Structure 1
Amino acid sequence: MSTTNARGYSSFYFHIAYNPELGNFRRFAAYWAKRVHDETAELSACIANLDREIKRFPHLDAQTVLDCPKRTFQEGCPDTQDQYKNVNSRWREYDEALMRYGEVLCMSERIMNFPTQDKFNTKKLRYWTSPHYKPLFDQDEFVPTGEPAKTYKDDPETTDTCAWRAFAHDDFLTNRFLELIPWIDEQILDRWRRLRVRGVKHGEAQLPSTLHYKKIVRTLDTLTCALASGVLVITIGVLKVVRPWSIRIILTCIFGTLFAILLKIMAGSLTRGEVFTATAAFYAVAVVFVSNTDNNYACH
């Protein structure tokens, strides 16, 4: 299938623009490495040529371009005189080669540091269809670019497929939830959307998904806030009921450990110091509560 004849894929590119976590191109690492090497060799040749020309003019009092300020060169070798035409040409070639080298080096560094497409969006891309229900992959070909389909279907670590932007959250809970999204979207949300849109039966073309990553993160953030408060309230409630000092200490340790584990699972990529600080604050509240209630019991 020729990519020049493929039409109806404009929605695919709009889809990528609004979902920059989705992989959309390949990092041609070997070619970028060659381009950087080519520009390095070109710049080295230009520097050598310019140094030879500079040595021909003793009044510049320089052996290399590093010894010759540009203003001194422009005043000592004006481009308007024929005898300096060649050295000025060499200087311009050196300037252009230096700029090209810097641009290629910076561009290749930025490209090579793009995040790898996550496995969730690899699967999402695999099953994407345009509004006209044309397949994105046809006869083992990725139609928009003509690349082999396996480039985008296989594991991202081996295909080297990149994304413009990585997920902001990389915690255990979000990652596990993302793995369940295709099933939730197909088995639950898609059925709900079909109830709202008459005339579309199950098994026909899938309606556009309304389950976006930002909505998932907002939901999980709200759940995290509620759970953090809930753990503390439950801890205080249990300690309020339990009287023996030794059992209170054991329960405080259990709930504190549970809080630290939930914090690491739900709160994202926290450092060890942040986990330690939050857990210490939790223990501080629990210990103050236990001490105050024990004093009240002692008074009674």
Structure 2
Amino acid sequence: MGSPLGDSFRLRTQQGLDGLEKIVGDPSGALIGLDFDGTLSPIVPDPDSARAHPAAPGALRLLAPRVCAVVILTGRPAATAVEYGPFQDVPGLIVLGHYGQERWEDGEVVAPPPPPGVQKVREGLPDALARAGAPDGVWIEDKGRSLAVHTRRAADPQAALERVSPAVHDLAERAGLIVEPGRFVLEARPAGMDKGAALRAFARERSARSVLFAGDDLGDLAAFDAIDSLRGDGIPGVKVCSGSAEVTRLAERSDLIVDGPAGVVDFLRALAGRLPPASGSQV
């Protein structure tokens, strides 16, 4: 199937092609949504070491003035994603952190206080993992509004994930939280918000006439669901998968698969190159 961006970005579905043609033909109504880890930033063993692809900030600076809005949707704290970009100078960028519970805009973060269940999990998780016999290499990432248990550093990450999963789910349930699975990670977080709900709300806020979302992990499936729902409402959309061997479910549902964060950056730059600069833009 063809593509307005050329043969390097051929769409797999007619709906995806329709969505991309709408973005190119009507960029002032286009909302571009992006995950951070695995999409703009390569996956690394230590999340604190994650940084965006070196060309990602420049690609966003090119694209942002040409479309309705660019929003990063991440499970990380919003300010962390901005710092790890670095994305502070991307014009008009919005970052929705903690699955939409935090909002970074113009250098300021707005967020409600975390629910008490987060503190309950924070206090109980080390003992729960110890009782479950968590192997070496399993560790806890405290995100402030959620707690993530990582197994990527274990000798057998999948076996470690399966060993600790019942304990994490049990503790989260007793604390009134939910568990979001990911690439060798289980994240206990408050219910009521996910990337799909956040994307739909932001699309309504901006009166978007088309929506694209790029992601790589299971937590991004909700955003893909939102694209499908928006299409049902008459708003064209595109689902882009930052491909990896670890997660295949997004690829199965995507309109376009690119080769990891480098492929995402190439796609964003190609898209920006097809759009006219904003009035008065120097990019």
TM-score normalised according to structure 2 size = 0.21
> Greater share of helix residues, 1 or 2?
1
- State which structure, 1 or 2, has the greater radius of gyration over its C-alpha atoms: 1
Higher relative strand content: 2
TM-score normalised to structure 1 length: 0.20
